[in-house]
Amino acid sequence: MADLLTHIFVGYTIGMVLTWKYDKLKSAHVTAVMVGSTLPDLVRIRLLLDPVKIEQVLGIPFSWGPLHTAGGVIIIVAVGSLLSVPKESKIIFTLLLIGAASHLLLDALLISVSGYSYAVLWPFLDFHPPTPGLYLSTDVWPAMITGIIALLVRMQDQIR
């Protein structure tokens, strides 16, 4: 997982560009893409609710892992779209999904010591694809680069 701020900058950039293309979209919709870009990191709930302890208490296997895979993300996005007013549901579903997909894609490029990333497309595909290893979630530069791009997009938006 790249750091959350990098994901949000990317979500913001995608959302803003979408508003240039589709007049119907407002800044509330840019926010929806940004929210989508954070959703896979709901998996960090594992820091609060340790899955190993949950397994011990319930006596069944348990992992938060699916939240950071395509399958779990689609479910969370669907729940999110159902939380919005019915006339917005379809567009919110699409925007959240775009944001979340950008997150999964960026994280599939992270450096990994084994050379393999994570089960991106689980449960549709049970495979950890090899990663080109472009950056670490603890690197400082991804947030700087994506932050500069987001800022340029914002400036361009104000000119328009």
Partner 1 sequence: MVERLFKPMFESKRVRTTMMISLLVVLLILFIWYGSISPEPGKGRFPGNDELVEDYENYIGEKVEISGEVIETEPLKIEIESGDKTIELEITGLEEETEEGDRLTVFGTAAENRTIYVENALIRPLWRYVYMYGVSVVGATWIGFRVLGQWRFDREKFALEPRENPLTIREIIFRSKRGDEDG
Of 84, 155, 139, 153, the residue nearest 106 (C-alpha): 139
Q: Are 115 and 130 in contact (CB under 8 A)?
A: yes
Peptide bond into 51 cis (omega under 30): no
Q: How far is the CB of 40 from partner 1 (least distance, A)?
A: 13
Least gap, CB of 52 to partner 1 (angstroms): 3
Least distance (Å) between residue 64 CB and partner 1? 7
Nearer to partner 1, 3 or 107 (CB): 3
- Distance (Å, rounded) from C-alpha 77 to C-alpha 33? 11
Q: With respect to partner 1, which residue has the nearer C-beta, 63 or 156?
A: 63
Q: Tell me the two tokens of residue 156.
A: 């361009």
Which residues contact partner 1 (rule: CB under 8 A)?
3-5, 7-9, 26-31, 34-35, 38, 41, 50-53, 55-56, 60-66, 69, 71-72, 75-76, 78-79, 82-86, 88-89, 111, 113-117, 119, 122-123, 126-130, 136-140, 143
DSSP 23-54: TT--HHHHHHHHHHHHGGGGGGGGGTS-HHHH
Report whether 134 contacts 43 (CB < 8 A): no
Q: How far is the CB of 139 from partner 1 (least distance, A)?
A: 8
CB of 113 or CB of 159, closer to partner 1: 113
